[in-house]
């Protein structure tokens, strides 16, 4: 039956995965994801109409966001979970359909708005999914397909940020409404290239709002991150390693492990949580263990304790640790114990994770020492006078935004070398797991300002925008592009796509993107990005260093 997926940076031959995803997903899962996305477009067909009539369905709106989140790279690999989401999508779609006045329905409804399976057979869902994916219409204009997919992947990233904010009870229903508007736009046969470019940029604008909302949710709930030296070593005793991005999951896990004799360590994108005041009060939050997501097979095996995956960044696990691996939220792997969602007014129940940890030995040490984190926008702006003076005096010549994702490709060593060889008067602004390529380098400081300012997770990318906007304001600049800031972004999955679109919507130009350009961007769409925003692929370390230092 096969599959086609090219939503991540590591897609096969930088063209598309057609047999099995490089991420590890099977063709069955890929086709079920395609079917789910198609049905979400069916929901959107009615959702947009319902909203115009003043009808809203909060359960359906959030379901669309969570389902988009489930299809992000390295999030959910469980066909049964996707089958359940497919059936739920049909139920919610038809419930929404029933709420709309019959007179408002066109005579001919699109199949995505009416299709239902004839049986409960998983094979039927997979078969249908194989016919409605990216390449369902081989004759579709290449540029329209490119823009539809660029918009879809931006929506997936926006959905992830929005869902994280909603988990922390920070809401903006305009974001949920736009997810449906955007999905429906990908089905508009009359939309021109210019129409789709406009929707893509609107997605970027909504991305800025989504990131702002999530920043408010995180800091409003747990306080502003503080400059912190995070421990990299281990202590004796039973332990739980928590990975992913979900701060509320960490919060509840820390509460439930308090006094139980279980230590907690962060992994991957959870590293920045060690800088939040609310989490610092727990002495059993020991520090961070290991590096970015793609090292997890080795690091999870070495850790030895229980492991909890809270969001995307799951790598197909080894059998050696599946009996102590747990998932929660939108994450899934066949046969792995899943911690159910919280009920209203209650916490998730992490007792199975804690019980398993108490049965196991503590972690093996990987490294020692500390690394600095906690330089989100509030921390940086608290020393804004020092930063501004350092720029005015020439002590800081340039900031280089090296944010985004890490990945397995050897070509990503480029980012390590860029960081290592930047002039000593250049400061790196980072967020996301891309930092693991250089955050353990000793690059020193400039007048007490670390040369690596780590703003946090990819979820904290808003900090980089806020810092740039505040600096432009301080220097009385009308154009953010006049700041001494260069952008050297690495991408892997769809949350990086929405960050890129957010930057483009703010008219940020001269962005280097790597290690490869997205396979879903057609030559003509790339031409638009190059001509309007000067988006460019990374080159050699030597070429890009020279250009960065020259402010190009």
Per-residue pLDDT of the chain (552 residues; tens, 9 = 90+): 599 999 999 999 999 999 999 999 999 999 999 999 999 999 999 999 999 989 999 999 999 999 999 999 999 999 999 999 999 999 999 999 998 876 666 668 999 999 999 998 999 999 999 999 999 999 999 999 999 999 999 999 999 999 999 999 999 999 999 999 999 999 999 999 999 999 999 999 999 999 999 999 999 999 999 999 999 999 999 999 999 999 999 999 999 999 999 999 999 999 999 999 999 999 999 999 999 999 999 999 999 999 999 999 999 999 999 999 999 999 999 999 999 999 988 999 999 999 999 999 989 999 999 999 999 999 999 988 999 999 999 999 999 999 999 999 999 999 999 999 999 999 999 999 999 999 999 999 999 999 999 999 999 999 999 999 999 998 999 999 999 999 999 999 999 999 999 999 999 999 999 999 999 999 999 999 999 999 999 999 999 999 999 998
Which DSSP symbol is given to 140? S
Q: What is the predicted pLDDT for the residue at 497? A: 97
Under 8 Å between Cβ of 296 and 315: yes
> Is 230-358 assigned to CATH 3.40.50.2030?
yes
Beta strand 536-537 with 511-514 is: parallel
Q: HSE on the CB side for 141, CA within 13 Å? A: 14
Q: What is the CATH number of domain 384-549?
A: 3.40.50.2030
Class of domain 1-139: mainly alpha
DSSP secondary structure letters along 75-116: TB--HHHHHHHHHHHHHHHHHHHHHS-GGGS-SS--GGGT--
Under 8 Å between Cβ of 457 and 432: yes
Domain-by-domain residue ranges, the chain?
1-139, 230-358, 384-549
For the chain, report the end-to-end CA distance as a whole number of angstroms: 47
- Summarised one tens digit per residue, pLDDT across range 65-117 is 999 999 999 999 999 999 999 999 999 999 999 988 766 666 689 999 999 99
Q: What is the predicted pLDDT for the residue at 102? A: 67
Q: Tell me how far CA of residue 27 lies from CA of 82, 269, 322, 492, 519, in angstroms.
A: 13, 28, 22, 20, 19
Does 1-139 match 230-358 in CATH topology? Answer: no
Q: What is the predicted pLDDT for the residue at 103? A: 61
Q: What is the predicted pLDDT for the residue at 105? A: 65
- Summarised one tens digit per residue, pLDDT across range 219-247 is 999 999 999 999 999 999 999 999 999 99
Backbone φ and ψ of 329, nearest 5°: 65, -135
pTM of the model: 0.97
Give bridge partners of residue 308 from the DSSP assignment: 242, 326
Sequence length of the chain is 552
Q: Select from 167, 134, 128, 172 the least CA-distant residue to 152.
A: 134
């Amino acid at each position: 039956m096969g599959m086609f997926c090219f939503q991540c940076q590591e897609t096969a031959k930088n063209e598309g995965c057609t047999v099995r995803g490089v991420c590890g997903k099977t063709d069955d899962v890929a086709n079920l994801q395609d079917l789910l996305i198609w049905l979400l477009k069916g929901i959107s067909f009615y959702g947009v109409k319902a909203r115009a009539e003043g009808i809203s369905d909060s359960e359906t709106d959030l379901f669309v966001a969570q389902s988009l989140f489930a299809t992000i790279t390295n999030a959910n690999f469980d066909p049964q979970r996707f089958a359940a989401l497919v059936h739920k999508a049909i139920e919610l779609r038809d419930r929404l359909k029933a709420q709309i006045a019959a007179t408002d329905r066109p005579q001919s409804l699109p199949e995505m708005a009416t299709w239902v399976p004839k049986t409960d057979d998983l094979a039927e869902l997979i078969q249908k999914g194989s016919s409605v994916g990216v390449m369902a219409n081989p004759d579709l204009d290449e540029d329209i397909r490119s823009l539809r997919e660029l918009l879809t992947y931006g929506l997936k990233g926006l959905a992830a940020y929005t869902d994280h904010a909603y988990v922390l009870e920070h809401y903006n229903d305009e974001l949920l409404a736009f997810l449906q508007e955007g999905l429906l736009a990908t089905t508009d046969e009359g939309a021109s290239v210019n129409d789709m470019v406009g929707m893509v940029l609107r997605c970027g604008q909504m991305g800025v709002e989504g990131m702002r909302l999530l920043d408010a949710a995180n800091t409003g709930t747990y306080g502003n991150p503080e400059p912190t030296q995070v421990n990299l070593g281990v202590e004796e005793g039973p332990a739980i390693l928590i990975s992913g991005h979900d701060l509320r999951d960490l919060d509840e896990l820390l509460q439930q492990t308090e006094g139980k004799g279980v230590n907690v360590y962060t992994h991957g994108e959870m590293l920045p949580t060690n800088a939040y005041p609310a989490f610092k009060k727990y002495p059993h939050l020991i520090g961070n263990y290991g590096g970015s997501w793609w090292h997890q097979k080795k690091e999870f095996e070495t850790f030895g304790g229980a492991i909890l995956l809270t969001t995307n960044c799951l790598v197909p696990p080894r059998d050696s640790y599946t009996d102590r691996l747990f998932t929660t939220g939108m994450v899934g792997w066949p046969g792995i114990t899943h911690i159910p969602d919280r009920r209203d007014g209650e916490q998730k129940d992490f007792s199975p994770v804690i019980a398993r940890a108490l049965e196991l030995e503590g972690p093996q040490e990987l490294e020692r020492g500390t690394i600095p984190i906690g330089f989100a926008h509030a921390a940086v702006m608290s020393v804004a006078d020092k930063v501004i003076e350092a720029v005015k005096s020439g002590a800081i010549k340039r900031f280089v935004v090296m944010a985004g994702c890490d990945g397995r490709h050897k070509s990503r060593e480029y980012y390590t070398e860029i960081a290592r060889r930047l002039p000593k008067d250049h400061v790196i602004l980072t967020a996301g797991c891309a930092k693991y390529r250089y955050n353990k380098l000793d690059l020193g400081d400039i007048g007490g300002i670390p040369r690596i300012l780590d703003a946090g997770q990819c979820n904290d990318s808003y900090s980089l925008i806020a810092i740039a906007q505040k600096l432009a304001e301080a220097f009385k600049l009308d154009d953010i592009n006049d700041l001494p800031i260069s952008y050297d972004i690495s991408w892997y999955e769809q949350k990086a796509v929405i960050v890129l679109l957010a930057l483009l919507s703010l008219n940020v130009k001269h962005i280097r993107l790597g290690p490869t350009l997205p396979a879903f961007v057609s030559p003509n769409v790339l031409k638009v990005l190059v001509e309007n925003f000067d988006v460019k692929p990374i080159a050699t370390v030597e070429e890009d260093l020279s250009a960065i230092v020259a402010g190009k």
